[in-house]
Amino acid sequence: MNQKEINWAPNELEKLLLAAIKYPNRRADFYEAFYDSEVYILQMEGNDAAGGGFASGDEIGVYMVEGSGGQSVAIFSSPMFMQMHVTKEERCLQVKVRDLIELTGGEQMVLNARTKIETPFTREAVAGLNDGSLVQRLREKM
């Protein structure tokens, strides 16, 4: 997929991401907000949750993208970024990042893949988000 030029009104998470990109001392603020945020994922066909919810260990069949670090769970900060990846009718889910980390077993993720604000999260970064050490290390550097 080609990167598209977009004009958009960023949501609060995207504003924090843009600030973190421009000002490295704002990264802790972004990561802290990101961990508590809801993001959008595309659920692949044939992976329906019984009763509309998921539990730890459930197979949720999320959309994956290939990157330099291998396969990553594709997550999106807004429906607009998600729509860039939809080629047919797909099921979209909104989920808290903290819950997604648990459901995927800490898989690496990429936020807004193949856009100008693509943000990869390695397994180590995901673990650091989950236990708070990533934000703590960044705050100590300030």
Residue 5, in any domain of the structure: no
Average pLDDT of span 31-50: 81
Count of structural domains within the chain: 1
Q: Please give the average per-residue pLDDT across 8-30, as a whole number.
A: 95
When computed from its CA atoms, the radius of gyration of the chain, rounded to whole angstroms, is 15
Beta bridge pairs of residue 66: 71
In a domain, 51, yes or no: no
Is residue 24 a part of any domain in this protein? yes
Structural domain including 83 reads 12-46+60-141
In percent, the amount of the chain with pLDDT more than 70 equals 85
Tens digits of residue pLDDT in 42-88: 887 654 544 444 444 455 678 888 877 889 999 999 999 988 877 77
Kindly state whether residue 111 falls inside one of the protein's structural domains: yes
Q: How far is the C-alpha of 121 from the C-alpha of 123, rounded, in Å? A: 7
User: What is the rounded end-to-end Cα distance, in angstroms, of the chain?
Assistant: 37
**For residue 3, is it within any domain?**
no
34 occurs within a structural domain:
yes
Helix 27-36, helix 123-131: angle, nearest 10 = 80
Is the pLDDT confidence value at 127 over 50? yes
pTM for the complete prediction? 0.82
CA dist list (Å): 98 to 90, 106, 116, 132: 23, 10, 24, 11
Average pLDDT estimate for 104-125: 93
Q: Tell me, what CATH number does 17's domain have? A: 3.40.1350.90
> Is there a contact between 60 and 103 (Cβ–Cβ < 8 Å)?
yes
Q: Is position 88 within any domain?
A: yes
Q: Is residue 104 part of a domain?
A: yes
